[in-house]
Amino acid sequence: MKYYFVGLPVCLILLLTVSSGWLHLPERDQKEGAKMMYGDSSRLGRPYAKDPHVISYKGRYLMYFSVPAFTDSSGVKHGWGIGVAESRNLIDWRKIAEIPPVADYEKAGICAPGALVKEGKVHLFYQTYGGGPKDAICHAWSEDGIHFTRNATNPIFRPTGSWNCGRAIDAEVYRFKNQYFLYFATRDPGYKKQMLGVAVTPLKTSFNREEWKQLSTDGSILKPELPWEGECIEGASIIERNGELVMFYAGAYNNWPQQIGVASSKDGLHWERQQTAPFLKNGEPGDWNTSESGHPHVFEDRHHQTYLFYQGNNDKGHTWFLSNEKLVWKGTRPGLARRP
């Protein structure tokens, strides 16, 4: 941590002390130009963290992310899990916990977390993993952001309709126009193409299974159509700007390369792409994200600055790192504050 007192009189410096130490500058000013690069080596012995989602909770930032399946030294297999890291500045992160699979419906693994704060509690939305078409969205809540109680109605959501296979992954729950919108990824009945759907629940909700109403009953709200999107659109992340919703989404499957696109909507159901080219591309040869820039998460901090978190690697998925880029806005159109 850096402190800046050049030119201040001694009496003023003394006034800047607090019981816990020196009064420091706001987080947004602490590491100008620094680059976030986070990888979790606890399971595989090499950096591997995916699917970031960040919240501000009780004076710190918490990041939830996916950690991979592994076999421990005694030969016991462990499914995918969810890691928890904390930060004060959105650059430096320290892992503080894991959320392992515990329920029978989670035994193959859990991952792709999304979170929100409602009435002082953290509500976590995540997917079961390893069930193919049977994977579904689950919900849990916590009073400390670390220890979670599962929803008794889990899994809380999987889609219906002839246009999809019944699978739901990559949950993003966002409050908009007196409802909570649940955005999810699913596949077509042939299990080839990945696309997005949406459901809603009232504000006075427990997020239980019976409280969700699927809006995308006749088809996807966004499906791969552009060449760079390949056969996949997934990982929707939502923010409201000037009364409209802006979605960052992942196009193409992992390492094809996956890249990030952007779309917008006035009602949360009907979406239009803002541009035909990727908003955030994979890196050039030799960059840390040559193989992909994927699975976005848009986050607004306590100072109303917005950041785009995402995953990337340069070795076709042998490792995975998490990073972020600061965003700038012109109305509902985002831009990158600096090129990655």
Q: What is the pTM of this model?
A: 0.90
pLDDT value at 32 more than 80: no
The predicted model gives 245-249 an average pLDDT of 98
pLDDT at 24: 31
Say which amino acid occupies 307. Answer: Y
pLDDT at 33: 66
pLDDT at 182: 98
SS (H, E, C) 240-265: EECCEEEEEEEECCCCCCCEEEEEEE
> What CATH homologous superfamily does 36-336 map to?
Glycosyl hydrolase domain; family 43 (2.115.10.20)
Note the pLDDT tens digit of each residue in 270-294: 999 999 999 999 999 999 999 999 9
Grade residue 213 by pLDDT with cuts at 50, 70 and 90. very high
Q: Which of 14-28, 229-243, 322-336 has the lowest mean pLDDT?
A: 14-28
Say which amino acid occupies 158. Answer: R
Note the pLDDT tens digit of each residue in 140-163: 999 999 999 999 999 999 999 999
Grade residue 31 by pLDDT with cuts at 50, 70 and 90. low
pLDDT at 27: 42
Grade residue 339 by pLDDT with cuts at 50, 70 and 90. low
pLDDT at 338: 81
